[in-house]
Amino acid sequence: MPHSFCCHSRFALLSWLTALAFLLPLALAIAETEVKIGISSQNVYLGETFVFQISVSGDSEPEAPAFPKTADFQVESLAPQRNQSTSISIINGRMTNTSVNETIFRYNLTATRTGTLRIPPIPVKVGGRVTHTQAVPVHVMAPEKMDDMALEVAVSSPECYVGQPVTVTWKWFIGRNVLNYRFSLPLLTEKDFSFPAHTPNLDPARRRDYRKIPLSSGDELIGILEQATRNGVPVSCLTFSLPMLPMQAGTVTFPASTVTFSVEDASRARRSRRQSLFDGFFDQTPTRTMTIAAPALSLNVKDLPAEGKPKNFSGIVGPCRVEVSASPRQVSVGDPIILTVHVSGPEYVDNLRIPALSECPELSRDFRVSGEEPGVVESNRKVFQCTLRAVDAQVKAIPALRVPFFNPASGHYEEALSEPISLEVEEVRTVTALDAQGLPTALPSNSGSKLETVTEGIAHNYGGDILLVDQRAGLATWPKTPWKIAFCLAWPCIYLLALGAVAWHRHRCADPGAIAAQRAAGKCLAALKRIQPDDASGPDLTLAALTDFLAAKLRRPPAAAQSFQDVQAPLAAAGIAPAELERLEKLFAGCEASRYAGATPDDLKQIPLEAAAIVKAINRAF
């Protein structure tokens, strides 16, 4: 029986230890990780934007929560914020250091209907463990009528062709005092459209009317604020535009553009004033954040017709002009000719391309084409270059280039034609062996003599010892080459100069006070010279410069040279004449008196001069 009880006790203890090993990390994770939620307001108007946030505190880094899809709210995720706080507590002499990491995830929510809506639970994953936030009810009220606030978007043409530029214009009518605003333009991220680089023409005379419009992508647009009338009510109108190139055919509905802004909440302001017993400077006007959306807008994008489409059509939409230049124009067969093509006409030429010149039959018949470039934008035109090489001396000109384009006005394909460029091409002369020898003409075949055998062979090319140059080396030859002596002596001289410079530097640094004492007189005289004769603070500046000079000369701290009594004994010991000490005492007294009783114009002029004379006398004695 005791043995059975002992086994049972061991089994129970082992079970408890196993459970503790599994549950302890979970308990620590629960204790260390804390998830909180917050909401800026639970009573909002339809279209009003409010902030919902999730705060996660703990040692582990949380994953960004995914907001569940819901038809009740428009959701905009904001950048997370990370905070770290450290607290130190001392209890019974024991210090405890606690560090807390906090990550805040924020969302801008905009209600899409009235009634009591519900923010659903959101899963938050921290350290492999998922925690769900609690559901939050939000009461959405019908908005007040806002005839004086509206956002409109329009296009320059209700229909266009693929690649034909259209201008999109946004107008925001403002009839109230707007504290801040933020635009959301999802159209700019649509893959079916291209937005070329655009710089608006700004009128310097109206620079006060222009406004910067920040976008969520970090870019900025430029809008102009003007006065307008809407429904018979005078309002302000913020207008900005962008060019757009449709890339796909079909009827496209623009995603809703919105603007979020803060305005004064009249009902909350009245309620706040009724509840407040005092109206003070620190009372803040209640505001609420509103979001208005532009009405739906569609654009009919037509595909380019297939009928009559040239084989070398490169996608240019809109009338264009082609100008061609070549250099050089006098060449031989095979010499490189740089051909430059200027294409202008379309309003936006960033993505403009021309047909491959190597596939142009007019060029490939008489030239070899190489080195084609993608083109460079210069002002309102695009410049292309390539290299041509004439294949025959019969080539007399670079033919006219044909660049097809589609004209939206006529609905047909047309061609832009350049002017031909005349050339002078010469035959390539064959280089012979005589040309390589530099002979102007060929020699007759019978003018040369026959080769003869020389019995001596090539022995006549050898000479005796007299032709050998004496190249003996040694100290005896050094006077003949003085640069060798200079080279050998230069290194010891450089070493001695460096050694002297180091010794001089160490000597100066050994006594910094001596250096300051040597420079003290110059600094003091320069400071006295800068004092203006009519400066009321001249006596104070004189006294400050004088005390700094005396402190440096006597090698004392500045606080030990603030009065005549501080410096009288050291100066007398240094051999300063009693007459100079008396002048110095009177100067100290005069500066002190002028600080409290003021100084006459003559005194203001005389004090710096007297101080300069005393400084020179003291400096000569040291």
Lowest mean pLDDT among 89-93, 196-200, 202-206, 520-524: 89-93
Among 230, 258, 244, residue whose Cα is nearest residue 162: 244
3-state secondary structure (DSSP) of residue 308: coil
Q: Which fold has domain 321-426?
A: Immunoglobulin-like (2.60.40)
Q: Note the pLDDT tens digit of each residue in 117-127.
A: 999 999 998 87
Pick the CATH number of 32-86+97-141 from 2.60.40.10, 3.10.310.10, 3.40.1280.10, 3.40.50.800: 2.60.40.10
Same fold, 32-86+97-141 and 321-426: yes
Measured N-to-C along each axis, helices 538-554 and 601-621 cross at an angle, to the nearest 10 degrees, of: 10
pLDDT band at 279 (very low <50, low <70, confident <90, very high): very low
Reply yes or no on whether the pLDDT at 7 is more than 50: no
77-96 residue pLDDT tens: 888 888 877 777 777 667 77
pLDDT at 560: 74
pTM score:
0.53
In this predicted structure, what is the pLDDT of residue 233? 87
Q: What is the mean pLDDT of residues 502-519?
A: 71
| Confidence check: pLDDT of 463 > 80 | no
* pLDDT over threshold 90, residue 507: no
Give me the pLDDT at residue 553, please.
82
pLDDT at position 1 is 45
Summary mean pLDDT of the chain: 81
Delimit the domains of the chain by residue range: 32-86+97-141, 149-272+284-300, 321-426, 512-621
Q: If one looks up domain 149-272+284-300 in CATH, what number appears?
A: 2.60.40
Q: Could you tell me which residues come within 8 angstroms of residue 551 by beta carbon, excluding any fewer than 6 positions away? A: 557, 558, 560, 561
- Judged on CB neighbours under 10 Å (0-12, 13-18, 19+), 136 is middle
Of 104-113, 143-152, 243-252, the one with minimum mean pLDDT is: 143-152
pLDDT for the residue 389: 93
Q: Which helix (H) or strand (E) holds 16?
A: helix 2-32
Residue 564, CA distances (Å) to 157, 550, 551, 579, 614 in order: 91, 10, 12, 14, 13
Q: DSSP code of 232? A: T
pLDDT, tens digit (0-9, with 9 covering 90-100), for 406-462? 999 999 999 999 999 999 999 876 666 655 655 555 544 454 555 565 555 555 555
